[in-house]
Amino acid sequence: MNKKALESVLEAILSQPTAPFHEYHVRSAILAQLKGLKRVKTSSDPFGNVLARYKRGRAKARWIVGSHMDHPGWVRTKGGGFAFLGGVPEGHRTENAERVEWFDAFGMWELPAYERFNGSVRARACDDLVGCAILVAVLQELEKRDVSADFHVLFTRAEEVGFVGMKYFLESGLFPEGTCFISLETSAATGGAEIGQGPVIRVGDRLSSFDPPTVATLEAVARDHNIPTQRHLLDKGTCEASAVLAHGIPAAGISVLLENYHNCGPGTEIAAESVAIDDVFHAAKLVAALAVDAPDPSDPATKLRKRMNELATKQAIHARESVKSWQDFGG
């Protein structure tokens, strides 16, 4: 994975304005970045979600990784008013109502679109345009390396208002059969997770515990490729993995940690979101490795039972003596 190429894609995607149901600028930028990739085919469902597939060789798809194209923002209504869509506290909204930059039918907070600063990227919307940029860069990398793989990528709409885009995609019949889903998100650091220590392999969110074999596979890929990661439950928010799990499909998550989640700074301050560029880079490496060199998902419970049996066999003499001693006390 080329870091300069990744940063170029980051700037191209994060510079675009977006809001729930108004993702067309981001969508156009994504399609422009993917144009000309001979092994990448794109399609859309009726709602406007974008599915991209890299295909070379006989490999069978096992993974689909998704990110959403929207970010909390202001949307004009038919009556001439406006509404705020997305999870931002009322105090932040009311105290900063004059700090809105409008793009015809929608508005975003008046913040720098994209800045590179001291090993970090600051933007008015990292969530989840960083995830979208990573997926674009991974598809470009797969094409450049001309690897044998079958890999699906999904860019969804209106995630911030209840996984609306994912709902329509799941109902479209286009979800690749037999695949596991990975939600690639930017998330607030909780539960001991630290910005700059690598992307988080997410074991759950506020609603769900994720699929153990899928989580174990992500950990195995990171370990096999020496990619620094963290393993945490990030339960401040909910991601699309929960929506997919609700439909009976195995799912887990990868998160790039960010500051000022949903532009909420200290008190009622509105601030740019920020991510560590190294975390973004390692997340991209993890997704690329997953596409090319992931082992089959394995249930950690199976490994645990095997290990318990091995240890019990090794300690058989002590175990038998313990049972006898316990029985002597009437146990």
Distance, CA of 114 to CA of 93 (rounded, Å): 22
On whether the CB atoms of residues 125 and 14 are closer than 8 A, the answer is yes
What distance lies between CA 192 and its chain's CA centroid? Answer: 19
pLDDT in tens, 206-263: 999 999 999 999 999 999 999 999 999 999 889 999 999 999 999 999 999 999 999 9
pLDDT in tens, 295-315: 766 666 666 777 777 777 777
For residues 321 and 66, which has the higher predicted lDDT (pLDDT)?
A: 66
Say which amino acid occupies 200: V
pLDDT at 316: 75
Distance, CA of 111 to CA of 9 (rounded, Å): 20
Q: E-strand spans in 3-119?
A: 40-44, 50-56, 63-68, 73-76, 82-85, 100-103, 106-109, 115-117
Distance, CA of 287 to CA of 254 (rounded, Å): 9
Question: Parallel, antiparallel, or unpaired for β 251-259 and 200-204?
Answer: antiparallel
pLDDT in tens, 45-91: 999 999 999 999 998 999 999 999 999 999 999 888 899 999 999 99
Phi, psi of 25 (to 5 degrees): -65, -45
pLDDT at 312: 72
- Over the range 190-228, which residues count as b (16 or more CB within 10 Å of their CB) and which as e? beebebebbbbbbbbbeebebbbbbbbbbbebbeeeebe
Average pLDDT, stretch 108-137?
Answer: 97
pLDDT at 330: 60
Q: In what helix (H) or strand (E) does residue 252 lie, and over which residues does it extend?
A: strand 251-259
DSSP per residue, 13-45: HHTS---TT--HHHHHHHHHHHTT-TTEEEEE-
**pTM over 0.85, yes/no:** yes
